Chains A and B, each alone.
Chain A
Amino acid sequence: MGLELFNTFILLLLVVAAIVALRVKDLLTASVVFGVYSFLMCLLWAEMGAVDVAFTEATVGAGISTVVMIATIFNLKRKSSD
């Protein structure tokens, strides 16, 4: 049950993170929140026994993707209209 609770908790957090990442107007914040989303995903997958996938998501989704996104936003405008 404990694991299930953990599972449920992360799943709900995922939805929250996804919505926040899409609603927030500051792109820098959005990409950081997206990094959080990726890391939550990674936790979830590790919990579900997909360690390799979780590892990849931790390095790629939470790591490289976020860095690359921030690097891009550095060259663009930070504000978003929606």
Chain B
Amino acid sequence: MFEEGAIINELFIERLNYLIYVVLLLIGLHAMISKNNLMKKLIGMSIFQTAIILFYVSVGVKEGASIPIYLPEHDPHGSHVSLGAGNETEEASHGPVVLEAGLIKKYANPLPHVLMLTAIVVGVATLGLALALCQRIYQGYGTIEEDEILAKIEREEMRAHPSVAVKSMESSKTATSKVKKPATKSKESSTLSAKRAKSNPKTKAKTAPSTSQLKSSRSKSASSQPKTSASKSSSAMAKPATSKPKTKAKTTARPKSASTAKKTAPSKAKPRTPKK
């Protein structure tokens, strides 16, 4: 019984820092992995990093030690000595001396602090960069919700290379360790595509359609899906370099769209180059 108490005492009172740092780290890590909103991921990332810093600072703690700045009596220049003791000022005027071993215990360990200064700086640099990425993504896709971005990317790729779309869809899904139910996903994406087909892509499209909107348009979009994707893929088919209709392309997922594409292949050509 006593031992158990000791363990609890040790873990929860003395080592609360170590426990809380783990908790914070896990909160941050979980947010980084599972949050859908990119900004939330970034907040998670910052929490994750500060948790590690907390760990390091905890390592540097010394019971009964002062901050790692020399006390006036040890100040190398002795200029801060205000105590009247004569021999101390005399010693200070002699120049700095190496601290005795006993005095070392009076100061906290400065090394972890130094390391963490660096780590904080790295953290803010990463954060700034990632925020810029967020803005860039928002400019490109009009949203910072991960699933919607994925849906848009998928659609973009389908337009560029109908045959690889299926594969790249898979890879992009794994890439973000984030998988939505495929059924809702395809529907959602087609909803978005239908919407985007109508609206000017440059205007800030209202993303994150409310669920009611989604539901209402779901039935419509389900029926119009093949058509939309067909027209999309047709526009991409007509690339100067690859103007041959790809009958053998792996479009087993959407056979209808492929055949439609074949018929209307060399129509309006709007090659969408990946760069730009």
Contacts and interface: CB of A to CB of B under 8 A. Distances in A.
A and B touch in the complex (CB under 8 A): yes
Interface of A: 4, 7-8, 11-12, 14-15, 18-19, 21-22, 27, 30-31, 34, 37-38, 41, 44-45, 48-53, 56-57, 60-61, 64-65, 68-69, 72-73, 75-77, 79-82
A49 B58 CA distance: 10
Contacts of B207: 77
A77 B142 CA distance: 9
B24 A18 contact: yes
Interface string B8-42: 00000100110010011001100100011101101
Contacts, number: 137
Nearest to B144: A76
Contact of A50 (B28, B36, B60): B60
A68 B193 CA distance: 33
Nearest to B119: A53
B222 interface: no
A27 B39 contact: yes
Nearest to B31: A22
Interface string B52-67: 0110011011100111
A5 to B, nearest CB: 10
Contacts of B57: 45, 48, 50, 53
Interface in B114-130: 114, 116-117, 120-121, 123-124, 127-128
B113 interface: yes
Interface residues of B, number: 53
B164 interface: no
A18 to B, nearest CB: 5
Given A14-B20, A52-B114, A76-B39, 17 more contacts: A8-B13, A11-B16, A21-B43, A27-B37, A41-B54, A44-B54, A45-B54, A49-B66, A52-B113, A53-B120, A56-B121, A57-B120, A61-B124, A65-B124, A68-B128, A69-B39, A77-B138
Contacts of B65: 49
